[in-house]
Amino acid sequence: MQTKVWIDGKLIDKADAKISVYDHGLLYGDGVFEGIRVYHGRIFEAQAHLQRLYDSARAIRLEIPMASEDLLAAMEQTVQANGFTDCYIRAMVTRGIGCLGISPTKCPRPSVIIIADKIELYPRELYQKGMAIITASVIRNHPNSVSPRIKSLNYLNNILAKIEAIDAGVPEAILLNHEGNVAECTGDNIFIAQAGKIYTPTTADGILEGITRKVIFRLCQSLGIGCVERTLQRHDLYVAEECFLTGTAAEVIPVTRIDGRPIGTGQVGALTRQLTDAFHAYVKKVAEQGSAH
CA dist 43 → 35, 55, 118, 291 (Å): 11, 19, 14, 11
Amino acid at 202: T
- Calculated CA dihedral for residues 168, 169, 174, 179, nearest 10 degrees: 0
* CA nearest neighbour of 30 among 210, 140, 155: 155
- Rounded Cα distance, 184 and 182, in Å: 6
Residues in the chain: 293
106 annotated active-site:
no
Of 10, 14, 118, 151, the active-site residue reads 151
Give the active site residues.
151
